[in-house]
Chain A
Amino acid sequence: MEVLRLHNLQKSFGSVRALKSASFTLNEGEVVALLGDNGAGKSTLIKAISGVFPVDRGDIYVRGLKVSIRSTRGAMDLGIETIHQDTSLAPDLSIARNLFLGREPVNLKWLGVFAPLDLAKLRDAAAALLKRVGISKKLDADALVSTLSGGERQSIAISRAMQFAAKVIILDEPTNNLGVEETHGVLRFVKEMRAAGHSVLLITHNIHHVFQVADRIIVMRRGEIVAEQTVADTDLLTVESIITGADMSALLKETRAK
């Protein structure tokens, strides 16, 4: 079943046409890898879906319904959780406070933004979550994020997306800066999410990871989607050449044949 469908999304920054035209569909329980060289427009595409900025043109459908995503909050409310490449955590806050940032457990809810945080719940939920992701041994939920390594931070950001069990989880280069063990943790997480029926959009430069977890591959180049293939129907070398654009003619034939 279709969960997310993009139709002809376009986005320019001044004269830079970061996204010329992007259309694709993401189905339930599917892992789609979004590939492409630096500056291809991958982050721009997912930022548009996650409400960081509005698109100039194009439509987004969630479960068949046309939606307009005006803010990050709006995307989250539609069940789209994103882990961005560049920004994810506030270093001066504790792990627990970061895990619940924007969705803090509170008492006396009617007080709105002045409602007191439910500190006990915050701490317990954070500890439970870290345990589930398998990093509780190493990390204390009360530690400040500024004291963590890059890889540990990434793990925290991923566990945060996990806890809200979103329909669509978008990961922008989640294995960057990660050690071997954490990288396996992330890939395992992606598989778990798929098993639980969630859809994952994974951006990465590591093609080996793609072949380990993805069902389908989408390749972008200069703001456009240039190829779309199921993993079973292709191999590493072909994908590599599509990304770099080394063999355009063969690639076009292949995509048209579908």
Chain B
Amino acid sequence: MTIAAEQEMPRSKRRSSLIRSPQFSSLVILIVLLAVFAIADGNFLSPLNISNMMAFLPELGIIALGMTLLLTAGEFDLSVGAVFGLAPVVVMLLVQNGGFDIGIALLAGLLLCIAIGAVNGLIVTKIGISSFLVTLSMLLVVRGAALYITQGFPLKSWDQPGFFVTLLAGSFNIGTFRFYTSLWWFIGLSLLAIYVLHYAKLGNWISAIGSNRNAAVARGVPADAVKVWLFILTSVLAGLAGMISAFRISAASPVAGTGYELEVIAMVVVGGTALTGGRGTILGTIVGALMLRSIRNGIVLIGVPGLAYNIFVGVIILAMLILHALLQKNAARS
């Protein structure tokens, strides 16, 4: 059940379908998880820990927003982690070795991300190779490029305070909580994504393309163009997230973002978006991002040994997916 459908339902029906919707069950599980962590370790809800979680959350969350739209249209992008690493590395090289102004360098980074997304999208739509294969190859190209141009060494990032640093990685305090501007980016982009997917004409097209591409094309929907733009958007968001991260920790590493593609896809599907396209939910993705973030954070606090993290994360993701599948079956039957 998509939110799209709920918007159009009378109130009584809306409630029951909301409770059965995947983003709702994800939310319940998120709350349970938070409660478990909070009870198991008093520090989990401490200002410092919450501030920490909120610092990391937007970086993967921003990519997840783009990935949700792309998955809803029936495609996905495995190169986001590599783009996350390459964008800041290129920007910093241009500034440090090329002597360019930081603004110009950022613009060049943006163009690079647009180009990567466009290449992904054009190969997928015009040549007709599956996005799995295209973006897997792109992952290798992009990651390889980042390693080659840096010779594998991390670069010192831009650490002089200024407009761009404040814009992307400034921090501010609310009481004892410390927040980064990246949180505003995440909130703003989330609202925009919710609007586009569930309320705008474009969202109707995105869902229709993922649900039945031929039907959408037969109604005059420019399916290929929409997909190419979504690939570009996802790439740009990955680059933006990479810049935010590099500014925050004042370093740009060529291996930054390794494995993020799978973590991001996990966030999206745990939130209830269908891997097969057609059904997407931004609210679910936000819940999914919060969930994976707090799992990673919580299991550290409750003392799970570091090398065992992924066992937990994997098991919880599997459990979530099984739950969604069962709910889906149930809904189909009723």
Contacts and interface: CB of A to CB of B under 8 A. Distances in A.
A147 B332 CA distance: 7
Contact of B278 (A84, A92, A94): A92
Interface in B191-210: 195-196, 199-202, 204-205, 207-208, 210
Contacts of A141: 8
A141 B8 CA distance: 9
Interface in B261-318: 274, 278-279
A151 to B, nearest CB: 17
Interface in B1-26: 1-2, 4-5, 7-10, 13
B216 interface: yes
A88 B199 contact: no
B7 A97 contact: no
Given A114-B196, A117-B199, A117-B204, A90 B211 contact: yes
B8 A94 contact: yes
A90 B280 CA distance: 14
A114 B8 contact: no
A142 B195 CA distance: 19
B161 interface: no
Given A101-B204, A101-B208, A104-B204, A89 B215 contact: yes
A88 B278 contact: no
B287 to A, nearest CB: 20
Nearest to A115: B201
B220 A87 contact: no
B46 interface: no
Main secondary structure of the interface of B (DSSP, over half): helix
Interface residues of A, number: 39
Contact of A114 (B5, B200, B216, B217): B200
Nearest to B208: A90
Given A90-B207, A94-B8, A144-B5, A116 B218 contact: no
A65 interface: no
**Most B C-beta atoms less than 10 A away, residue of A76, A94, A122:** A94
Interface string A107-128: 0000101111101001100000
B329 interface: no
A106 B203 CA distance: 12
B207 A93 contact: yes
A52 interface: yes
Interface in B168-220: 195-196, 199-202, 204-205, 207-208, 210-212, 214-220
Contacts of B53: none
B220 A144 contact: no
A159 interface: no
A106 to B, nearest CB: 5
A71 interface: yes
Contacts of B211: 90-93
B200 A90 contact: no
A73 interface: yes
Given A93-B208, A104-B204, A114-B200, A88 B218 contact: yes
Contact of A106 (B201, B210, B216, B220): B201
Interface in A159-208: none
B221 interface: yes
Contacts of B9: 142
Contacts of A116: 195, 199-201
Nearest to A160: B219
Nearest to B280: A92
A73 B200 CA distance: 20
Contact of B8 (A84, A86, A123, A146): A123
Interface string B216-236: 111111100000000000000
Nearest to A116: B199
B211 to A, nearest CB: 4
B325 to A, nearest CB: 15
Given A101-B204, A117-B201, A117-B204, A88 B4 contact: no
11 contacts: A72-B218, A86-B214, A87-B212, A89-B215, A90-B216, A91-B211, A91-B278, A93-B208, A102-B216, A111-B200, A146-B332
Interface of B: 1-2, 4-5, 7-10, 13, 195-196, 199-202, 204-205, 207-208, 210-212, 214-222, 274, 278-279, 332
Please provide the 10 A-B residue pairs with the shortest distance between their CB atoms, ordered closest to farther: A73-B220, A102-B219, A92-B278, A87-B214, A90-B211, A92-B211, A90-B208, A113-B202, A142-B8, A102-B220
